Amino acid sequence: MLTQEELIRKLAKSNKYQTLFTYFKESGVQFFRNNTDYTQIQITFLNWLNFYSTIYLDIALDYVSEIVLENNTYEDAYFYYKSKNKTKMYEEKTKKVSKKDKNIETQTTGSFTWVMKNKPSKK
């Protein structure tokens, strides 16, 4: 039998709640019956929604394959790794992208890395 935390994760991972969460983040659509005064369990749920939203985004950006969603152990491991290697992962990914497409140019400015399809023209 699933524990309460496992059930919350299952709901947070579902298409239904991921879609609602996107609307909630982008246009402030009411997510819970209460608009304010969230319970601790609602805050935990929002954290899990954010956790899965991040993983789905990383899959879409090709940072990681869908196999990560196979079980909680893979998901937790990936998220822990990501929190430890955030910058490294991004740099590795941009290197891979530049190898794939020679027209793509990367420029690092401060903490941001800009990825451009075409080289900027030199004036």
Partner 1 sequence: MEKEQLEALKKEINDVKDVANEALSEEVLLGNSFEFEIEGKTYRVSKPTFGQKQEVYKKRVEKFTQLLQDKQLLLEKDLKKQYKERGIDIDEMQKKILELERNKQDLQLKLAQGIIDQISESELKTFREQIESVEEEQLSVAIEKNTLLEFSIEQQIFVFVYIYLTYLIAEIKDENGKWSRVWNKFEDYENEKEDIVKTVTYYSSLLLKDEITG
Residues that bind partner 1 (CB under 8 A): 1-2, 4, 7-8, 10-11, 32-34, 37-42, 44-45, 63-65, 67-68, 71, 73-74, 76-78, 80-82, 84, 89
Cβ-based nearer residue to partner 1, 34 or 107:
34
- Distant-in-sequence contacts of 61-66, Cβ < 8 A, 24+ apart: 61/93, 62/93, 63/89, 63/93
Tell me how far, at minimum, the Cβ of 54 lies from partner 1, in Å.
Answer: 14
Assigned token pair, 30: 């009411």
Tell the smallest beta-carbon distance from residue 122 to partner 1 (Å): 36
Closest contact distance (angstroms) between CB of 20 and partner 1 is: 11
β-sheet bridge partners, residue 114: 107
The nearer residue to partner 1, 39 or 106, going by C-beta atoms, is 39
Give 12's contacts (C-beta < 8 A, 6+ positions apart).
18, 45, 48, 49, 51, 52
